[in-house]
Chains A and B, each alone.
Chain A
Amino acid sequence: MPNEIVSVENLSFGYGSSLSIENISFNVSEGDFLGIIGPNGAGKTTLFRCILGVLGNYAGSIRLFGQDIKSNKGLLKRVGYIPQKRTIEQEFPVTVQEAVSFGLIGLRNSSNTVLSAITDVGLDELKNKRIGDLSGGQLQRVLIAKALVSNPDLLILDEPTTAIDKESEKKFYSILRELNEDRKKTIILSSHDLDAIKKLSNKIACVNKRLFFHGNVHEFFDNEKLMMSAYLESSMQAHMHSHFDAENSSDNKADPNGA
C-alpha cells in the first residue's frame, strides 16, 4: 500500500469572519498526481497555504508524510512549491543559477545539484542570464528547477501556467508528466485547464470553499452526471461549458461528418 503523503481532515480557514474553505478532507498517496479544480476565489490557494504552513490558524488537521505539519515545520523541506501569482520582482538582480540555488537554502548546498536541476528543465544555456531577461515560460521553468533542486517528495503547483504561452505550457506539462511517471514524484496541481488535469492526473478534487468531489479522474470525467452535479454545486458552469465546447469542437474536427 502506498505511503500517505498528504492527509487533510475537516480543514476550515477564514480571513476575518467568513470562511474561505470549509470542512475539507482528502488525502494524497505516494506517486499520486492530484488535480485540483475550482473557480477563482474557491479557496485553492488558501488550501495550499494551509498545507504549506504559511497559514497556521486553521481548524482541522493537516498531516504531511504522516506527521502533523504544526508540530514539525521541517517537513516543508521535503516539499517543492510553485506559487500561483509570480510575486517575483522581475528586476531582482539574480541569475537563473542564483534563483535556483535558493531552493537549497537550509539544506546541503551543491552547485552540481543546481546545474543538474537547470539541465532538467532545459535551461542550461541560460544559467547566467538574469531572470528579468527571461520569457514567462522560461521563468516558470526556473521556478520548477528551484522547486526540484532539493529533490522534494511532494510538488505543489498553484495555477502555474497563468500568463505563459501555449508552447511553454506544453513543455511545462511534459516536464510534470515526466516527474510523475518516470521520477515518481507526488504532485498536486491546481489549474483551470481541465484538459491538462484530465491528461496528467490520476485523482481530482473539485473545490469551491467546500469539497464537492474527490476521487479518480476518469470516474469524474467519464461520468457526465457526476461531473455535472459537482460542477453545478460548485458554481462552475462557465468552466464546464468551455470544456464541453472545446471537446465538441475537437470531436467535430476529428470527424467532420459527425459519424
Chain B
Amino acid sequence: MALEILTYGFMQRALISGIIIAVICSIIGLFLVLKRHSLFGDAMSHVAFGGIAIGLYANVYPIWTALIVSVLAGLGMTKLREVTKIPSDSAVAVLLSSGLAIGIVLISLSGGFNLDLFSFLFGSILLVNLQDLIMISIVSGLVLVTMSLIYKKLTYVTFDEEQAAVGGLSVRNINYLFIVVASVTVIASIRLVGVLLISSLIVLPNITALAMGKGFKKTALISCGISIGSVIIGIIISYFANIAPSGAVVLTETMIFLIALSGRFLINKNRQTKSKIESTMDLENGPRK
C-alpha cells in the first residue's frame, strides 16, 4: 500500500522535488546557521512573498519575480549591513517586514488573496507540475555547482573571516555570491513548505546535525540525511493522514530534533555519572602505586 503511492505521478514529482530541495536547503542552511543568519531564510521568504505578489499582479510566473526580488533584496541587505554596520537581526527585521508590506499592498490592489497565493504561503508540494519540477531542478543544479566550487573557501570564511582574508581569499565576493545562492535556494524551496515555514527547512536539520558533535563534512552529511528523511516521511504521512505536507515535513524535522536533543542529554548524563563513579572508585582505592 505504501509503495502504491509511488505509482502516482503527483507523488513522484512531489518526492523528487522534495528530495532536491531538502539537499540544497540543508547545505545552504548549515552555512547560514553557522554564520548566525538563521533568520535569513525567513527574511528572504517574506521578501519573496512581495515578489510573488508582483508576479501575480503583473500576470508573470510568480517564482521568477520572487527570484529577482529576493536576490536583489539579499544583496541589498548585505550592503546595508556593510555600510551602516546595523546588527544582522535588525537588517533581517527591516527586510522581513518591508517585503511582507509590499506583498500585502499589491495583493490588496489586485483584489485580495486567491488560491495561488495560499499555495505559496503554505506550500503545495503535491501540486508541483512539470514546469515547477524543471525549474526546481535547474535552480538546484546551479546552486549545487556553485556550492561545490566555493565550498572550501566558504567554510573557511565562515570559520574566520579575517584569517580567510589573510589567506588571500576574497571574503567580500564569496559572501555576496553565497547570499545570491541562498536567496535562490529559498525561492526554489517555496513550493515545498511555503513562505511561512521555509526557515525551518533551513535551520532544523542543521541544528539537529550540529547537536551530534561531529566534524564539518559529517555534520553536512547528517543534516542532508535528516532533511531528505523528513521530506520523504512528511510527504508519505501527509498522504495517509490527509494533512498538509508542509506541516507534516516540518513537524517530522522537529520530532527528529527533539529526539536528537534528548539523546544527547542522556549520553551526557551517562558520561557524567560514569566519570563520577570512576572518581569515587579512585578515591576509595587511594593513590595508584
Q: Quick check: which of B98-106, B112-120, B208-216, B249-257 contacts chain A, the rest being far away?
A: B208-216
CB contacts (< 8 Å) of A88 on chain B: these are 159-160
Q: Assuming A89-B34, A130-B214, A130-B215, is B159 touching A102 (CB within 8 A)?
A: yes
Q: Is the interface of B mostly helix, strand, loop or mixed?
A: helix
Mark out the residues of chain A between 53 and 80 whose CB falls within 8 Å of any chain B CB in the assembled complex: 53-54, 73-74, 76-77, 79
CB contacts (< 8 Å) of A249 on chain B: these are none
**In the complex the two chains form, what is the Cα distance from A50 to B219 in whole Å?**
36
CB contacts (< 8 Å) of A81 on chain B: these are 163, 166
Name B30's closest neighbour in chain A (CB-CB).
Answer: A93
User: Can you show 7 pairs from A to B with CB atoms below 8 A apart?
Assistant: A53-B165, A53-B166, A54-B162, A77-B167, A81-B163, A88-B159, A103-B167
**In the complex the two chains form, what is the Cα distance from A94 to B219 in whole Å?**
9
Given contacts A92-B159, A93-B216, 20 further A-B contacts (CB under 8 A): A53-B166, A54-B165, A73-B168, A88-B160, A91-B210, A92-B34, A93-B34, A93-B214, A93-B219, A94-B155, A94-B159, A95-B216, A97-B215, A98-B216, A102-B159, A102-B164, A102-B167, A105-B152, A105-B167, A106-B153
Determine whether A122 belongs to the interface, using a CB cutoff of 8 Å to chain B. no
Q: When the two chains form their complex, are residues A87 and B160 in contact, meaning their CB atoms are under 8 A apart?
A: yes
Determine whether B64 belongs to the interface, using a CB cutoff of 8 Å to chain A. no
Q: When the two chains form their complex, are residues B169 and A128 in contact, meaning their CB atoms are under 8 A apart?
A: no
Say how far A94's CB is from chain B's closest CB, in angstroms: 5
Top 5 A-B residue pairs of the complex, sorted by shortest distance between their CB atoms: A95-B215, A93-B219, A102-B156, A52-B166, A81-B166
Cβ-defined partner of B162 (8 Å) among A73, A74, A83, A95: A83
Q: Which of B162, B169, B210 is the most central at the interface, judged by chain A CB atoms within 10 Å of its CB?
A: B162
CB contacts (< 8 Å) of A148 on chain B: these are none
**In the complex the two chains form, what is the Cα distance from A56 to B168 in whole Å?**
14
CB contacts (< 8 Å) of A105 on chain B: these are 152-153, 156, 164, 167, 169
Say how far B36's CB is from chain A's closest CB, in angstroms: 9
How many A-B residue contacts, CB cutoff 8 Å?
71
Determine whether A99 belongs to the interface, using a CB cutoff of 8 Å to chain B. yes
Interface size class, chain B: 20 to 34
Determine whether B85 belongs to the interface, using a CB cutoff of 8 Å to chain A. no
Interface size on A, residues (CB 8 A): 28
Q: When the two chains form their complex, are residues B213 and A130 in contact, meaning their CB atoms are under 8 A apart?
A: yes
CB contacts (< 8 Å) of A52 on chain B: these are 166
Cβ-defined partner of A76 (8 Å) among B155, B156, B160, B166: B166
Say how far A107's CB is from chain B's closest CB, in angstroms: 9
**In the complex the two chains form, what is the Cα distance from A128 to B218 in whole Å?**
11
**In the complex the two chains form, what is the Cα distance from A98 to B220 in whole Å?**
13
CB contacts (< 8 Å) of B168 on chain A: these are 73-74, 76-77, 106
CB contacts (< 8 Å) of B213 on chain A: these are 93, 130, 132
**In the complex the two chains form, what is the Cα distance from A106 to B214 in whole Å?**
25
CB contacts (< 8 Å) of B216 on chain A: these are 93-95, 98
Mark out the residues of chain B between 217 and 247 whose CB falls within 8 Å of any chain A CB in the assembled complex: 217-219
Q: When the two chains form their complex, are residues A83 and B167 in contact, meaning their CB atoms are under 8 A apart?
A: no
Say how far B35's CB is from chain A's closest CB, in angstroms: 10
**In the complex the two chains form, what is the Cα distance from A99 to B215 in whole Å?**
10
CB contacts (< 8 Å) of B155 on chain A: these are 94, 102
Q: When the two chains form their complex, are residues A106 and B169 in contact, meaning their CB atoms are under 8 A apart?
A: yes
CB contacts (< 8 Å) of B166 on chain A: these are 52-54, 76, 79, 81
Q: Which of A74, A83, A91, A92 is the most central at the interface, judged by chain B CB atoms within 10 Å of its CB?
A: A92
CB contacts (< 8 Å) of A93 on chain B: these are 34, 210, 213-216, 218-219
Q: When the two chains form their complex, are residues B167 and A94 in contact, meaning their CB atoms are under 8 A apart?
A: no
**In the complex the two chains form, what is the Cα distance from A75 to B156 in whole Å?**
19
**In the complex the two chains form, what is the Cα distance from A102 to B169 in whole Å?**
11
Mark out the residues of chain B between 173 and 229 whose CB falls within 8 Å of any chain A CB in the assembled complex: 210, 213-219
CB contacts (< 8 Å) of B165 on chain A: these are 53-54
Cβ-defined partner of A128 (8 Å) among B153, B156, B215: B215
Mark out the residues of chain A between 209 and 242 whose CB falls within 8 Å of any chain B CB in the assembled complex: none
CB contacts (< 8 Å) of A128 on chain B: these are 215
Say how far B27's CB is from chain A's closest CB, in angstroms: 14
**In the complex the two chains form, what is the Cα distance from A130 to B219 in whole Å?**
11
**In the complex the two chains form, what is the Cα distance from A92 to B214 in whole Å?**
10
Say how far A144's CB is from chain B's closest CB, in angstroms: 13
**In the complex the two chains form, what is the Cα distance from A87 to B210 in whole Å?**
19
Mark out the residues of chain A between 10 and 52 whose CB falls within 8 Å of any chain B CB in the assembled complex: 52
**In the complex the two chains form, what is the Cα distance from A74 to B166 in whole Å?**
10
**In the complex the two chains form, what is the Cα distance from A74 to B215 in whole Å?**
30
CB contacts (< 8 Å) of B158 on chain A: these are 92
Name B220's closest neighbour in chain A (CB-CB).
Answer: A93
Say how far B120's CB is from chain A's closest CB, in angstroms: 33
Say how far B170's CB is from chain A's closest CB, in angstroms: 9
Mark out the residues of chain B between 23 and 82 whose CB falls within 8 Å of any chain A CB in the assembled complex: 34
Say how far A63's CB is from chain B's closest CB, in angstroms: 17
Say how far A79's CB is from chain B's closest CB, in angstroms: 7
